[in-house]
Amino acid sequence: MEISKVLTPVMNFITVILPDFFKNNFEILYTKKSKTVGCIIGAIALLAVILNVKEYTSLEFSSKWFLLGFALVFPFVIGFVTAFTVRIKNDLINKIWHFVALFIMPVITITMTECLNNIFVYNMTYAGFWGNYLVVAIMYFIVFACSGSFKWSYLIINTVLFGFAVAHSYIMDFRGTPFLPMDFLSITTAVGVANTYEYRLTYKVMTALLLFIFLTVVAIKTKTPKYHILTRVISRSFMGTVAAVVLLIFYGTNIVGNMGIRPDFWNQTRGYKNYGFVLNFIGNTRYLYMSEPDDYNAENLENYVGGVIGEDGGNTVDSTKNPNIICIMNESLSDLSVLGNLTTNEDYMPFMRSLTENTIRGNLYVPVIGAGTSNSEFEFLTGHSTAFLPSGSNAYMLYIDKPIASMVSTLKAQGYSSYNMHPYYRAGWNRTEVYSNFGFDKFDAIEDLFTPEFMEQYRENSSDPDHLQIIADQMYPQGNFLVRQYVSDSYNYKTLIENFENRNKNIPYFAFNVTMQNHGGYATSSLNFNESIYATSTSKKYNKLDKYLSLVKYSDDAFKGLIEYFSTVEEPTLICMFGDHQPSVENAAIAEIMGVENLNSLTPQQEQQRHCTPFFIWANYDIEERTIDKLSSNYLSSLVLETAGVKLTEYNKYLMTLSKTLPVIDSVGYIDNQNNYYKWSDSSPYTGILDEYEKVQYNNIFDQQNVKSSIYYLDGYVHSATPVEPEEATEEAK
């Protein structure tokens, strides 16, 4: 009896009240056209999933079956939502619902962006979830405050976030590091290499695309109710005010940062995984602006520099030997055995390992992994450290907009010519303007090495190395200058040697060369590339890793040829060659070599290992042989100048002395001469000299009005920007 008393009202609610409520307040609308469109969209989405089902079944985590089930079912949901429209007949409920939906939509949007980030909302920390939720909601608020439309809030924000998240997904797959705001400034470089990568509809993109289609259909069907004018004014003003206050607090104060809500500068990849794509991407925009260091005063710089150098002048000896100097930054060159256990079927760099006579060699610590070549280049040529620049920034794209002291100006002050060569597009990394501001006499890019007719074919066919090789054979039968779709190191060095032979022999020669052969995009094979090297210590075959190792062998052979040539040159010549960063190969391969489960929880020492590449300084005359275990790229050019015996600026002497205390200063942290590893968040005995180094660097880059020329230049020499515009390519192009 008591049970029936309880069940009766419940059944009455379920069978009578609830159906009446929906019947009186909701109406399902559809047309023949809407059902047809729904069926077509749903069918296309389902077919896309079926054709890419291996993207789900080949995954190695247990959730793959849940994801596959979702992907197979959700096209029906999309088809249903497209075919049918729910109209709320009750005006009050309709108005309330649209405001409630505004706060529900961010959850679906976050799910969309984070599956592209390879995590899901249930994996996120509370701080990560609510941080991302707040950012997306504020974005909706901004558009709603401007337009008064829920539809446009969803359409604009969801489309932008989907596009950014897809870019992040592919960038992570290709280079192993996240999509950062600074990547917008390197868009010309990105476009230049984008078609050299293999794009496929990954499970992440497929899942996110289904959610995006769903959100887009819902947004298109959303009709903003006709609120009373006072309600519209209050709601739009409120949302606009909330958004403005949050933005003011975030960008104008340190409140959010002091709460610990900031990007993981120590490991951006880990930060994106732990706290989400949207929050981290927006968070990084907070740190784009370069602020003046605390207590900065240009008048104190000479004391900082003099205090480090000391009375002995940094133990440096100036001479007037002036040998020819050639510096080569080799694209993605590294010895991955520095990471841990890596053996191969044969040595991939036998010549480099054997090079000891008249050679200084060692481990170079660079600021980037997998990409960001120009930051390593910036550190080498200027002696400055990107560690003191906003995280994720790029010096070439942002800061070298006026003449600046560098290795180039130091050598030109001593009568050197200065030649620069990079066998890829001139526009990449803003190099034309940067090299002009460095003072190079001449810059040859790939456009200067080949005819316009070939370059047109190169741009159109670089995504297909085999077809490109056929075209190259037809236009340059004796060329043999490509490995995959890039100019080979051997041809690169051939061009460099020809420039050397045609130099003005009355003055010493300086050349800086950035190679291209080993650039990322290791997924595809090509007929002009013999993949002869493979790892034997890994538990399975990693295609990208093996292709990369084979490329390194090509670099080793080419470098051997270069050294053999200059061994026959009578004029004293010094060659420095170093890698700009480690490659972006399979993360699982790197983790296995390092002996860790994943790359998100590395120790400071392991993080530094991932930033390690080899360097060599060789001369065709007697120099003292030695091995340097640790040196960061900001010191290397000063070491080259010191080894060459040319005059050093006070800044070079400062850096050489500083390197004896802190041999490594990079984006990860720093290492002292006792082999202690520090993160930038650590307190250490070196805080004072690091602060001084930052101020000295700031003066040369940002405070040109008060620049201390006596520190950065020799004997009053101050250079102006030089024209390095391209010369017209000739038919004799190699």
pLDDT at 559: 98
pLDDT band of residue 176 (cuts 50, 70, 90) is low
276 neighbors 128 (Cβ within 8 angstroms): yes
Closest listed residue to residue 664, CA positions, set 631, 641, 642: 631
424 neighbors 487 (Cβ within 8 angstroms): yes
Q: Summarize pLDDT for 462-490 with one digit per residue, the tens.
A: 889 999 999 999 999 887 899 999 999 99
Reading the block at residue 614, the tokens are 């080899």
Give, to the nearest 10 degrees, the angle between helix 268-275 and helix 277-285.
130
> Residues with Cβ < 8 Å from 177, sequence gap 6 or more?
171, 268, 269, 368, 369, 370, 371, 372, 584
pLDDT at 84: 83
pLDDT band of residue 734 (cuts 50, 70, 90) is very low
> Residues with Cβ < 8 Å from 550, sequence gap 6 or more?
348, 529, 530, 531, 532, 533, 534
582 neighbors 336 (Cβ within 8 angstroms): yes
CB atoms within 10 A of CB 569: 13
For CA atoms 260, 263, 269, 273, the dihedral sign is positive
Type of residue found at 645: G
Closest listed residue to residue 283, CA positions, set 245, 239, 247: 247
pLDDT at 600: 82
Enumerate the β-bridge partners of residue 616. 361, 577
Q: Summarize pLDDT for 197-228 with one digit per residue, the tens.
A: 566 778 888 888 999 999 998 888 888 778 78
pLDDT at 333: 96
651 neighbors 696 (Cβ within 8 angstroms): yes
Which carries the bigger pLDDT value, residue 327 or residue 263? 327
DSSP string covering 175-235: HSS---GGGGGGHHHHHHHHTTSPP---HHHHHHHHHHHHHHHHHHH-------HHHHHHH
409 neighbors 711 (Cβ within 8 angstroms): no
Task: Give 15's DSSP letter.
Answer: I
Long-range contacts of 156-159 (CB under 8 A, 24+ apart): 157/109, 158/109, 158/112, 158/212, 158/215, 158/216, 158/219, 159/212, 159/216
pLDDT band of residue 43 (cuts 50, 70, 90) is very high
Angle at 188 between CA 184 and CA 190, to 5 degrees: 75
Q: Summarize pLDDT for 330-351 with one digit per residue, the tens.
A: 999 999 999 999 999 999 999 9
Q: Summarize pLDDT for 380-421 with one digit per residue, the tens.
A: 999 999 999 877 777 887 788 889 999 999 999 999 999 999
Angle at 124 between CA 152 and CA 55, to 5 degrees: 80
* pLDDT of 731 above 70: no
pLDDT band of residue 536 (cuts 50, 70, 90) is very high
Q: Where are the domains of the chain?
A: 24-89, 98-288, 315-712
Q: How far apart are the first and last CA of the chain?
A: 98
CATH of range 315-712; options 3.40.720.10, 3.60.110.10, 3.40.140.10, 3.40.50.970: 3.40.720.10
Q: Summarize pLDDT for 594-621 with one digit per residue, the tens.
A: 999 888 888 999 999 999 999 999 999 9
Q: Summarize pLDDT for 94-121 with one digit per residue, the tens.
A: 778 777 888 888 988 998 888 888 887 6
pLDDT at 185: 56
